[in-house]
Amino acid sequence: MASQRTGGDTGDLTLAACIALCCLAPLSGLALSGIAPVMPEISTEFARYPNSGVLVRLMMSALSAAMIFGALVTGILAERIGQLRLLLMLLVLYAVSGAGIFLLDNLYAMVGFRIVQGVANAGMGVLAIALITTRIPSDRRDRWLGFFSVTGAVGVLLLMLAVGAIANFGWRYVFLMFLLALPVGLLVLFTLPSAGSPSEVATDPVAKATSTDTPWGLMVFGLACGSIVTTITMYLPYHVADVGHGSPETVAMLMVVGAGMSALTAFSFGWIRARLSALQTFVAGFAVTATGLVLVVAAHDLPLLYAGMAVNGAGLGVIVPNMFSATAATALPEHRARMLGFVRAAFYAGPLVAQPVFEWFMLNWGAGASILAIAAACMLALAISVVGRSIFTPAAEAC
């Protein structure tokens, strides 16, 4: 069954503008993972600080926590400032707060700058998805959501290779890579046409109320998705070691296989959504992901481990873009940034909520039990999507 579409497109972006929006995706991964290779060097240089290692690790975890707040406030601010204008401001803030650490010699200030960057990083992601789902016509929208996911995965891989090379010159130079946000900002500025103020768009009062209500159902669903998508790699290395294949090279190759299949299905997302509804895509994605995880736990030899990761990656590749697509469809164009902000904040909070549960399984029964618990979370998310299918009702039907 073909996916349902709603009207309300406010523009037809050029190919250059679509590419510019996709260039935002690798910046998010760079902020999340880019400093990981140089964290030991930072800890050594600031060893004079009490608990310096904790503070350096806080540069990673505090950024992730700040992204929850950033996603929440971005949608609200976008309705007052405008999506494009706010996006350009956040790109500058991302660059300054990231590259500014190059000049700092105070570890507490460095943590503070990373918190600011986390807010900007989350906001950029929310606005990129909002612009894709609002300013790209419905017949191309899902295709570009898939491309956005693929660009993020491939782009951050290339950027991490660059991080490894630049780190040889000193840990501070890695932070200068965040200046890449500035040319991306120029590309966005010169390729995306400005749109009218959201307040100028005529909106039916009932539809407006529907679009601005807090989407509690979608937020619970986003929380479930976040707990699945972002926690699998935490437990995979331990399970692989438990079954006797724990070399770093093997773990890395398993992750590459999973990421490769995820990128392939994300690239095909537009083709998939042209044939399946949002609900059918969720059911397929969660079922395939859970099947792959069960195969990984059941495996004792490498071929089955690789097969399980490939199946798991194939399912994961459609879950995130479909979550964005389905969420955007529930809101009128002028309120999509707000709706996406709420759901993306819940997605970021997913690991914080779910990890204690998965850790309990690991402490009592091992990493394999944690992976099975994630598979059970997949089936819970599948049940939520089926039983609570009304949360995906498009805005045009909601009123």
Report the 3 state secondary structure along 210-229.
Answer: HHHCCCHHHHHHHHHHHHHH
pLDDT band at 11 (very low <50, low <70, confident <90, very high): low
pLDDT band at 256 (very low <50, low <70, confident <90, very high): confident
157 and 300 housed in the same domain? no
35 and 150 housed in the same domain? yes
Q: Please tell me the predicted confidence (pLDDT) of residue 12.
A: 73
91 and 236 housed in the same domain? no
- The three-point CA angle 229-231-234 to 5° equals 140
289 and 177 housed in the same domain? no
What span, in angstroms and rounded, lies between the C-alpha atoms of 46 and 241?
33
163 and 30 housed in the same domain? yes
Residue 119: φ, ψ to 5°: -60, -45
pLDDT band at 202 (very low <50, low <70, confident <90, very high): very low
pLDDT tops 50 at residue 5: no
What span, in angstroms and rounded, lies between the C-alpha atoms of 279 and 385?
7
Give the residue-averaged pLDDT of 17-28: 93
217 and 166 housed in the same domain? no
Look up residue 85 and give its amino acid: R
For the chain, how big is the Rg over CA atoms in Å? 21
pLDDT tops 90 at residue 205: no
Q: Please tell me the predicted confidence (pLDDT) of residue 119.
A: 95
| Residue 136: inside a domain | yes
Give the residue-averaged pLDDT of 186-191: 94
Q: Which of 139, 160, 194 is the last residue of a domain?
A: 194
| Residue 7: inside a domain | no
| Residue 150: inside a domain | yes
Burial of 238 (0-12, 13-18, 19+ CB in 10 A): middle
171 and 286 housed in the same domain? no
Q: Please tell me the predicted confidence (pLDDT) of residue 212.
A: 54
210 and 190 housed in the same domain? no
Q: Please tell me the predicted confidence (pLDDT) of residue 49.
A: 86
Burial of 244 (0-12, 13-18, 19+ CB in 10 A): exposed
Q: Which of 151, 174, 194 is the last residue of a domain?
A: 194
In contact, 133 and 325? CB cutoff 8 Å: yes
Kindly list the distances between the CA atom of residue 153 and the CA atoms of 147, 258, 335, in Å, as whole numbers in the listed order.
Answer: 10, 11, 28
pLDDT band at 234 (very low <50, low <70, confident <90, very high): confident
Question: How does pLDDT run across 51-72, given as a tens digit for each residue?
Answer: 888 888 888 878 888 999 999 9
Spatial CB neighbours of 161, under 8 Å, sequence gap ≥ 6: none
Q: Which of 144, 164, 194 is the last residue of a domain?
A: 194
Which pTM does this prediction carry?
0.82
Q: How far is CA 265 from the centre of its chain?
A: 16
Q: Please tell me the predicted confidence (pLDDT) of residue 195.
A: 61
51 and 185 housed in the same domain? yes
- Residue for token pair 């044939």: 275
Give the residue-averaged pLDDT of 275-299: 95
Q: What share of the chain in percent tops pLDDT 90? A: 52
Burial of 345 (0-12, 13-18, 19+ CB in 10 A): buried
The DSSP symbol for 49 reads: S
225 and 274 housed in the same domain? yes
279 and 258 housed in the same domain? yes
What span, in angstroms and rounded, lies between the C-alpha atoms of 289 and 294?
9
pLDDT tops 70 at residue 313: yes
> Chain-wide mean pLDDT for the chain?
86
167 and 233 housed in the same domain? no
Spatial CB neighbours of 44, under 8 Å, sequence gap ≥ 6: none
Element (H, E) at 207: helix 205-212
Q: How far is CA 374 from the centre of its chain?
A: 18
Total domains in the fold of the chain: 2
| Residue 6: inside a domain | no
| Residue 305: inside a domain | yes
Burial of 348 (0-12, 13-18, 19+ CB in 10 A): buried
What span, in angstroms and rounded, lies between the C-alpha atoms of 232 and 235?
6
The DSSP symbol for 5 reads: -
In contact, 277 and 392? CB cutoff 8 Å: no
Sign, CA dihedral 174-250-56-50, equals negative
Element (H, E) at 168: none
CATH number of the domain where residue 177 is located: 1.20.1250.20
Question: How does pLDDT run across 267-277, given as a tens digit for each residue?
Answer: 999 999 999 99
Question: How does pLDDT run across 340-398, given as a tens digit for each residue?
Answer: 999 999 999 988 888 889 989 989 999 899 999 999 999 999 999 999 888 888 876 44
pLDDT band at 189 (very low <50, low <70, confident <90, very high): very high
Q: Please tell me the predicted confidence (pLDDT) of residue 201.
A: 40
Tokens standing for 66? 């700040």
Give the residue-averaged pLDDT of 137-164: 86
Print the domain residue range for 278. 205-398
What span, in angstroms and rounded, lies between the C-alpha atoms of 369 and 363?
9
